[in-house]
Amino acid sequence: MVLLRETSDGEEFLLVHRPGRKDWSLPKGKLDAGEHVLAAAVRECDEESGYTPVLQAPLPLQSYSVGSRPKVVSYWRARVREEVGFAPDDEVDEVLWLPVGEAPGQLTYASESQLVAAATSLPDTVPLVILRHSQALKRSQFDGKVDSERPLSGKGRSHSKALVPLLDAFGITQVHSSPSRRCHDTVKRFAKHTETKVIDAPTLSEEGFDDDPVAAAEAAAGLALAPEPLVVCSHRPVMPAILDTVASALGVDPEDRRWRGIWDPKLPTSGFLVVHRSFGEDGTVQVVGVERHTLAHLTAD
C-alpha cells in the first residue's frame, strides 16, 4: 500500500523497516485464511504501521517469484483515516514518513519506488460502489405474495456481514438501496456500522425499473455524479442499465482495455464494482480506476 499524507512541506509517503529482511518497504502482508484482499490490505497496514487507511485507486499488480512459487501482490493508493499507534515488533521495528521524492533513495526495492511514483501521479478520488444484493431466498421457497419482501437466505445474511469491512475499506459514508428487502438487508448492517441511514432508491428496484426505466437512469446518473463516497445496492436485472448510465455519465468506455472484463453487469450476488472518481475544481469528473470484487473467499454463491 502507498499511504500518503499532506504536510506543509508537501506530500509524504509511509515506509516500514523489517528487521528480519533488513529492508525498507511499503506496508504489505499475507492473507489470513478465508480473508478478503481488501480486509487484508487494511489490516496489514494497521498492524505494520499503526495507521488505518482509506483505500483509493488500485495500483499496478506486482508479480515476482519466491523460490519456485509465483507471487502476486495487490497495492492501492491510500490516505490516512486514523492513527492508532505504532507498536514495534519482530516483523516491523520502525516506521518513517518521507517526502515522495526520496522514495528511490530509501526504499529497498525499485518496484516499490515506481509504485510511489504511480500513486503520487494520481489525484485523490471518491468511490462509487455498485453492489448486487446478497443471496436471497429462492422464489420457489418464498410463500409471500409480494416478491419485494423476499428475504436474504442464511448464506446471504452471512455475506452481508462479510461486506461490512470491505465497504468500510473505501470510507463509504452514504448508503443507497433499492427498497426491496433483499437489497435493504444487504446493506443495513453496514449502515448501522457507519451510523448512517439507508436511503431508498425506489426506481432502482426491479419493479421501479420496470415501471419507469427513464427515472431509473436519472437516479443512476445522479449517484454517479454525487461527490460523496457512496454505495448503491440493486438487482441483477437492473445492473446493465445502471452500468450503462454510469458509464455515460462519467465518460467511461466499457471496451477500453483498462476496464475490459471489469465493467460487466454480470455480478454474482454480493459482488460489486468500485468506481474511483476524481472531482475537479471546474466541476469535471474523471474516472481514475475501476475494480471488481466478489466474496469468492467464502462459499461460492
Task: Say what angle helices 239-250 and 213-225 make with each other, to 10 degrees.
Answer: 50
Q: What is the pLDDT of residue 132?
A: 98
pLDDT (average), residues 247-273: 94
Q: What is the pLDDT of residue 78?
A: 98
Round to whole Å and give the CA distance between 81 and 12: 15
Domain contains 298: no
Round to whole Å and give the CA distance between 222 and 110: 42
Range in 34-38, 65-69, 73-77, 264-268 the model is least confident about: 65-69
Q: Is the pLDDT of residue 208 over 80?
A: yes
Give the CA dihedral 201, 205, 211, 217, nearest 10 degrees.
60
Q: Is the pLDDT of residue 142 over 60?
A: yes
Give the Å distances, CA to CA, from 22 to 86, 93, 94, 125: 19, 10, 11, 34
Domain contains 26: yes
pLDDT digits (tens, 9 = 90+) for 91-123: 999 999 999 999 999 999 999 999 999 999 999
Judgement on whether residues 162 and 272 belong to the same structural domain of the protein: yes
pLDDT (average), residues 37-56: 97
Pick the more confident residue, 71 or 59. Answer: 59
Percent of the chain at pLDDT > 70 equals: 98
Round to whole Å and give the CA distance between 270 and 137: 14
Of 226, 225, 233, nearest in space to 191 by CA: 233
Q: Is the pLDDT of residue 297 over 80?
A: no
Q: What is the pLDDT of residue 70?
A: 80
Round to whole Å and give the CA distance between 156 and 298: 11
Q: Pick from 120, 139, 159: which residue ends a domain? A: 120
Of 16, 34, 32, nearest in space to 24 by CA: 16
pLDDT digits (tens, 9 = 90+) for 19-43: 999 999 999 999 999 999 999 999 9
Residue 217 belongs to domain with CATH number: 3.40.50.1240
Q: What is the pLDDT of residue 258?
A: 87
Counting the structural domains of the chain, the total is 2
Judgement on whether residues 66 and 28 belong to the same structural domain of the protein: yes
Q: Is the pLDDT of residue 238 over 70?
A: yes
Helix ranges, the chain (H)? 37-49, 103-106, 110-120, 154-168, 181-193, 206-211, 213-225, 239-250
List all residues 6 or more positions away from 218 whose beta carbon is below 8 Å from its beta carbon. Answer: 203
Q: Which three cell numbers mark 284?
A: 469535471
Task: Say what angle helices 37-49 and 154-168 make with each other, to 10 degrees.
Answer: 40
Q: Is the pLDDT of residue 300 over 50?
A: no
pLDDT range class, residue 67, cuts 50, 70, 90: confident
pLDDT digits (tens, 9 = 90+) for 209-235: 999 999 999 999 999 999 999 999 999
Residue 41 belongs to domain with CATH number: 3.90.79.10
Residue 186 CB neighbour total at 10 angstroms? 31
Q: What is the pLDDT of residue 110?
A: 94
Round to whole Å and give the CA distance between 64 and 227: 37
Judgement on whether residues 149 and 288 belong to the same structural domain of the protein: yes
Judgement on whether residues 44 and 131 belong to the same structural domain of the protein: no
pLDDT (average), residues 229-253: 97
Domain contains 301: no
pLDDT range class, residue 178, cuts 50, 70, 90: very high
Where is 9: in which H helix or E strand?
Answer: none
Backbone phi, psi, residue 46, to 5°:
-60, -50
